[in-house]
Each structure stands twice: as C-alpha cells, then as structure tokens.
C-alpha cells in the first residue's frame, strides 16, 4: 500500500511542478525513478521515453502510465496516470474561470516569461541526459547526427517539418538495421 501512495504522490508532485509539457517532465521522471528511487534502470527509462513519444497521446501521460505499469502493474498505471493528470486539470479549470483577468496581470505575464526559460532548460537537460545514456554504436551516432542536422537545416530554412517524420524515419532505420543484423546472424549460423 505504501508503494501505491508513494507512486501517486510522486506523480502528483511531478504533474504539479512540470511546466512545458512532457518533454520538460522527462528530466524529473529520470531523477525520481532512475536516480532517486531506483524503480527502473537507465536503459529501460530510455526505452520508455521512446515508447511514450512514439505512441499516440501526450508524452507525460504515456510516460506516467508506463512507469506506473512497470512498478505496480495495472493499478500502478492507473494511479500514476491519475496522479500526473490531477494538477493540470485542477490548474486549467481554475484558470479557465478567470482566464481574461488572469492573463492581464503583470505578475502572471512575468512569471510565464521566467517559466519559459526554465522549460527550455528542462527540455535541453533531458535531451543531454538521453544522449549520454544512448550506446555509442555507429548506427546510433549516424542517426543522431543525421536527425540533428535535419533539425538544424529545417530550422534555419524555416521549413515546417513535423517531428512525426523524424520518428517514422528513425523507426524505419531501426527496423532495417534489425533485419540486417538478423540476416548477418543467420548467415553466420548456417556456415
């Protein structure tokens, strides 16, 4: 029972203090579940990020559901998902009641400017941590360089290129590499 409560409170806390969406949440999730609590391993966390980003729906909810399921199965996934959603729902509901007046407050406008800087930092630090955790195989290095180059080029040229295409291209490359490795292993076994 204690683990259920810990999971719920942890996800509630992460949902409450994460500004900027799921990408900003990745650093907090890694710190809490990999480094601090050691409920999942670093490699599994990297897989979870890939799965949460690739599946339909918000990355924050997908990640919470995955971690909850991994730690406490079906009930854990429900508890984690509800825990991470409650703060956003409550805050948005309260803001919606006073939306126009809320946005006109100078204090709120300045707070959002500060939060934007924090969000950029959280997303950047999560990306750096994920890059450090990826194994340095030639395929991974080439894929990372290709994706980063494509992102920089499309940003500089102001081309609107959806991240969905990056995910699909990298997924196809991963399947091709897997098939190539399987064929190589089968050839060696048949010799």
The model's confidence at residue 74, banded by pLDDT at 50, 70 and 90, is: very high
CA angle, corner 82, sides to 126 and 78, nearest 5?
Answer: 100
CB half-sphere exposure, 182, CA atoms < 13 A = 6
CA 163 centroid distance within chain = 14
For residue 5, what pLDDT is reported? 92
State yes or no: pLDDT of 158 exceeds 80.
no
Per-domain residue ranges of the chain: 2-134, 135-191
Which conformational region is residue 162 in: left (phi greater than 0), alpha (psi within -120 to 50 degrees), or beta?
A: beta
Query: Which of residues 151 and 6 earns the better pLDDT score?
Result: 6
The model's confidence at residue 55, banded by pLDDT at 50, 70 and 90, is: confident
For residue 122, what pLDDT is reported? 76
Measured from the Cβ of residue 18, the count of other Cβ atoms closer than 10 Å reads 22
């Amino acid at each position: 029972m204690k683990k259920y409560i810990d999971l719920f409170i942890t996800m509630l806390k992460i949902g409450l203090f994460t500004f900027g969406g799921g990408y900003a949440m990745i650093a907090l999730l890694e710190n809490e579940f990999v480094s601090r609590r050691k409920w999942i391993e670093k490699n599994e966390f990297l897989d979870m990020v890939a799965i949460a980003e690739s599946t339909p729906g918000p990355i924050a909810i997908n990640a919470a559901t995955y971690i909850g399921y991994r730690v406490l199965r079906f009930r854990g996934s429900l508890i984690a998902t509800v825990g991470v959603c409650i703060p956003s729902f409550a805050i948005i509901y309260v803001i919606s009641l006073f939306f126009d007046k809320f946005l006109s407050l100078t204090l709120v406008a300045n707070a959002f400017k500060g939060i934007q800087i924090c969000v950029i930092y959280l997303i950047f630090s999560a990306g750096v941590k994920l890059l450090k955790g990826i194994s340095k195989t030639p395929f991974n290095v080439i894929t990372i360089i290709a994706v980063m180059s494509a992102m920089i080029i499309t940003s500089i040229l102001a081309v609107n290129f959806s991240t969905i295409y990056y995910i699909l291209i990298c997924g196809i490359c991963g399947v091709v590499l897997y098939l190539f490795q399987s064929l190589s292993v089968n050839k060696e076994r048949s010799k």
